[in-house]
Amino acid sequence: MSLQWTPIGKMNKRIELQKLKDPPQKGATGQILKEYFTYAVVWAAFRTLTGGEKLASQQVSAVQTHEITIRYRSDVQPNHRIVMGQRIFDIKDVRNVDEANIELRMRCTEAV
């Protein structure tokens, strides 16, 4: 094995895994609404990787990148998100560490 597993004691944050409702709902003017629902509540370990700013629609917003580790699940996808309290993290990448089905490491972004 090339990587060491995350000790269970480091997984000390309670998070919700969420995905989009299917089929998507439409608003009063016909726009598609992004509605999420929680499909699992699990323990996770957090590690902040980077922080920075980006310019979008002529507004500067801060973005932080995190690595979030949970025990292995087969139902987590990159288009899902993570909620921890009032914070929302968009999952960008999901890795099954060493393809061992023991833990998942997800690279996520959080708009601040």
Q: Write down the pLDDT at residue 92.
A: 94
Domains present along the chain, CATH in parentheses: 8-111 (2.40.10.270)
Comparing CA positions, the residue from 59, 96, 102, 76 lying closest to residue 16 is 76
Q: Write down the pLDDT at residue 1.
A: 46
Residues with Cβ within 8 Å of residue 38, at least 6 apart in sequence? 16, 17, 18, 83
Q: Write down the pLDDT at residue 61.
A: 58
Distance CA 56, CA 62 (A): 11
Chain segment 36-92, per-residue pLDDT in tens: 999 999 999 999 887 554 544 555 556 788 999 999 999 999 999 999 999 999 999
Q: Which residue has the tokens 């598609």?
A: 32
Output the average pLDDT for the chain.
86
Express as a percent the part of the chain with pLDDT over 90: 57
Q: Where does residue 89 rank: exposed (0-12), middle (13-18), buried (19+ CB within 10 A)? A: buried
Structure tokens at 15: 């998070």
Residues with Cβ within 8 Å of residue 16, at least 6 apart in sequence? 38, 40, 41, 82, 83, 84
Q: Is the pLDDT of residue 18 over 70?
A: yes
Chain segment 22-48, per-residue pLDDT in tens: 877 787 888 888 889 999 999 999 998
